[in-house]
Amino acid sequence: MTDAGIYIHIPFCRSRCSYCDFATGMYQSEIAETYAGAVCSEIGDWREVEQPATVDTIYFGGGTPSLLSTEQTARILRAVKDRFELIDAPEITLEINPGDGGVDEESRLATMREWRRLGIDRASFGVQTFDDRELKLLGRTHDSTDVRKTFALLREAGFTNINFDLIAGLPGQTMGGWKRNLDEALKLRPEHLSLYLLDVHEGTPLADQINCGMRPIPDDDLAAEMYATMIEQVCAAGYEHYEISNFCLPGFESRHNTKYWASEPYYGFGNSAHSYDGARRRWANERDAAKYVKAVEHNDSLIVDRTTLSEEETRSESIFLGLRLMKGIDLQTH
């Protein structure tokens, strides 16, 4: 049986980014403590798959999982290890924001070292852009200096597998500005780069700003040029282009995210988390965090959507997901 991944959704942020439509809310320590307990309970009581696969990846996503205390993160990891069989040295990813982990560099470094002690070996953080003006327009709470400092602290703490997220096609972004973003990222040389084209979702502040003329409409042709430029520039720097939007130094593919594209099993915990048994069944948890916690406390069902794929749907899904990977698919197995 193929190894499975575990996804843990942490729905808290210090501020709401203008482009975000994820299931997130503002961080409050008391709510985070209650939520962490609910996630541990969900994991401990989980019985969705009679014989779950061995787990080789754990991914803390959100939101901003690094807002949890290290003790809360440790409790969730213990719950996973108590409920599932893990391989030796699983890939454990924590999404962070630049500047998270403490009020000063000393406390941030101590927090990062504790993450490593807990077995977290991969850090993924949302740089988005190295342009401070663009960061402010996006509602981000960090600046480009925070990115560089956070990266240096992660290295000092022992992280040898770091991912940057960058967004191309921002309103008003120029080709020159995008090239400078790539240059800045490549100077730091993280092991992995996730480079996305902006997707404007209706109902977000950014969509409202564009609709009322406060921000220019993103230029699709320019975004396409930015995409072609990033492939050329990043691959020339020695990175492998292994998925539509993802690049890595040799050997540093995201093992967890590859499961989604390879139709391998993954089990999601927390509000809005999705799961797939690797064969035919998909299911999703309650999206609202407060309703999710209440359901856990009352032993109610957390699942709001279940889908059993037909054989044809399974085959079609595996093809269009597999085609995201540069290695393509084996038609004989589809």
Q: How confident is the model at residue 179 (pLDDT cuts 50, 70, 90)?
A: very high
Tens digits of residue pLDDT in 272-309: 999 999 999 999 999 999 999 999 999 999 999 999 99
Domain total in the chain: 1
Tens digits of residue pLDDT in 252-280: 999 999 999 999 999 999 999 999 999 99
Tokens of 87: 């391989």
Give the pLDDT confidence score for residue 63 in this predicted structure: 82
Q: What value does the mean pLDDT of the chain take?
A: 87
CATH of the domain at 10: 3.20.20.70
Q: Classify residue 250 as exposed, middle or buried by CB count within 10 Å of its CB (0-12, 13-18, 19+).
A: exposed
In order of 21, 138, 171, 180, 209, the CA distances from 215 in angstroms are 18, 11, 6, 22, 6
Spatial separation of the C-alpha atoms in residues 40 and 274, rounded to whole Å: 17
Give the pLDDT confidence score for residue 257 in this predicted structure: 96
Structure pTM?
0.91
Whether residue 206 is predicted with pLDDT greater than 70 in this model: the reply is no
The percentage of the chain sitting over the pLDDT mark of 70, rounded to a whole number, equals 85
From the list 9, 3, 120, the residue with the least C-alpha distance to 55 is: 3
What's the first-to-final CA gap in the chain, in angstroms? 18
Q: How confident is the model at residue 23 (pLDDT cuts 50, 70, 90)?
A: very low
In order of 72, 95, 189, 202, the CA distances from 121 in angstroms are 17, 11, 17, 36
**Residue 203: HSE in the Cβ half-sphere, 13 Å Cα cutoff:** 3
Cα–chain center distance at 186 = 20
Sign of the C-alpha dihedral computed for residues 28, 31, 37 and 43 taken in this order: negative
Give the pLDDT confidence score for residue 102 in this predicted structure: 65
Q: Which domain, by its residues, includes 265? A: 4-333
Given a contact cutoff of 8 angstroms between Cβ atoms, the answer to whether 182 and 226 are in contact is: no
Give yes or no for a cis peptide into 63 (omega within 30° of 0): yes
Instruction: Report helix, strand or coil for 95.
Output: strand
In order of 19, 31, 304, the CA distances from 7 in angstroms are 23, 20, 17
Spatial separation of the C-alpha atoms in residues 318 and 313, rounded to whole Å: 8
Spatial separation of the C-alpha atoms in residues 302 and 76, rounded to whole Å: 18
